[in-house]
């Protein structure tokens, strides 16, 4: 086998069990997650999306079995700062800040998503997680097994999400 891709993508494994057909998150748990992307092309679409986000946040804050994870990551002077807040039943539960160096913005976003999901799933009463972020393209990579440069992070996130979804049919994540 030619290992030239392992030099470029050191964590890529074409035989990784997490990404084999029929075993991907999208194949096993297709009804346990959803995405609500925004169209930033015109002001009316932005207003409608913000109204929809407000409605979701209000519904989740009233549900004692739901958590909202608000996350963001940014890079300045080659130092990445990632932050997430977790709110449940209209109370702030967790706030975490991480600093990293030499990572891409996508890697930082994936790391922040994973940390938020892990922390929210540690709350035993949570069965629905709403993740609010400005980088929906990073979240969609979790469910795309063809994104090889991020495979190591995707495998870890996939395992965490898989464990959360296995708890029952009513366990759900919205992005």
Residue 29 lies in a domain: no
Number of domains in the chain: 1
What tokens does 107 get? 């890697």
**Per-residue pLDDT tens digits for 35-80:** 887 777 888 888 888 888 888 888 888 899 999 998 888 888 888 8
CATH number of domain containing 56: 3.30.420.10
- pLDDT score for 111: 85
Residue 31 lies in a domain: no
Residue 2 lies in a domain: no
- pLDDT score for 11: 52
Give 3-state DSSP helix, strand, coil % of the chain, rounded to 5.
40, 25, 35
- The secondary element (H helix, E strand) that includes residue 58 is helix 43-62
pLDDT < 50 positions in the chain: 1-10
Residue 10 lies in a domain: no
The residue segments making up the domain with residue 167 are: 43-174
d(CA 108, CA 112): 6
CB 118 within 8 A of CB 162: no
Residue 26 lies in a domain: no
d(CA 29, CA 89): 26
What tokens does 124 get? 């035993």
- pLDDT score for 2: 46
Write down the pTM of the prediction. Answer: 0.77
CB 130 within 8 A of CB 174: yes
- pLDDT score for 5: 45
């Amino acid at each position: 086998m030619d290992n030239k891709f392992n030099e470029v993508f050191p964590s890529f494994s074409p035989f990784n069990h997490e990404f084999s057909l029929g075993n991907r998150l999208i194949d096993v748990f297709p009804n346990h997650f959803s995405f609500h992307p925004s169209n930033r092309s015109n002001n009316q679409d932005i207003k409608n999306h913000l109204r929809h986000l407000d409605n979701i946040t209000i519904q989740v804050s009233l549900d004692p079995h739901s958590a909202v994870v608000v996350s963001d990551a940014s890079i300045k002077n080659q130092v990445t700062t990632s932050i997430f807040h977790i709110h449940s039943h209209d109370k702030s539960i967790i706030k975490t800040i991480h600093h990293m160096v030499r990572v891409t913005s996508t890697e930082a976003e994936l790391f922040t998503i994973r940390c938020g999901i892990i922390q929210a799933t540690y709350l035993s009463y949570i069965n629905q997680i709403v993740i609010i972020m400005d980088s929906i393209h990073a979240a969609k990579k979790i469910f795309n097994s063809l994104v090889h440069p991020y495979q190591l992070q995707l495998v870890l996130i996939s395992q965490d999400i898989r464990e959360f979804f296995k708890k029952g049919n009513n366990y759900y994540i919205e992005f």
